[in-house]
């Protein structure tokens, strides 16, 4: 890292020696502090580079998410259309089955009623014949 922080080591050493520390100890502390600052402290340029990198990463992530969302929307629309079509086919099949079942039921009822109608016609004919015979001598 380049040193971006202006650190007055002379003033630092003077303050420590004024406080009672030996000049040698104060100088060693100043060196250690400068080394630590240079090693650990990020510069504005480095922070700007990290920020730019983060912004690029966020933009890439946003673009990726937007693509994924668009793909999901397309897939969902396709699935919904397929489901709608499948439901229509199923409903048409059920409707056709119901029509066939109703037609079969009508035919069965007609088949069961036909002998009854014939029997009623005979009965009515017999009753009419009896009535006619009773009025005609």
pLDDT digits (tens, 9 = 90+) for 3-60: 456 778 889 899 999 999 999 999 999 998 888 877 777 788 889 999 999 999 999 9
Q: Domain residues of the chain, as ranges?
A: 1-41, 42-135
- pLDDT of residue 79 exceeding 60, the answer is yes
Between CA 115 and CA 124, with CA 118 as vertex, the angle to 5 degrees is 140
Nearby residues of 34 by Cβ (< 8 Å), 6 or more positions away: 3, 7, 9
Higher pLDDT, 4 or 64: 64
Q: What are the tokens at 36? A: 């630590």
pLDDT at 5: 62
Find the mean pLDDT for residues 128-136: 83
Read off the pTM: 0.49
- pLDDT of residue 1 exceeding 60, the answer is no
């Amino acid at each position: 890292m380049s040193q971006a922080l202006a650190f007055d080591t002379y003033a630092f050493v003077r303050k420590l020696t004024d406080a009672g520390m030996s000049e040698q100890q104060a100088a060693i502390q100043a060196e250690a502090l400068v080394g630590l600052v240079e090693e650990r402290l990020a510069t504005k340029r480095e922070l700007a580079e990290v920020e730019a990198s983060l912004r690029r990463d966020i933009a890439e992530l946003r673009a990726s998410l937007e693509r994924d969302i668009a793909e999901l929307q397309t897939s969902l629309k396709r699935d919904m259309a397929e489901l709608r079509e499948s439901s229509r086919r199923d409903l048409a099949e059920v409707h056709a089955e119901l029509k066939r079942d109703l037609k079969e039921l009508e035919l069965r009822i007609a088949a069961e009623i036909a002998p009854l109608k014939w029997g009623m016609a005979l009965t009515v004919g017999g009753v009419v014949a009896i009535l006619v015979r009773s009025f005609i001598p």
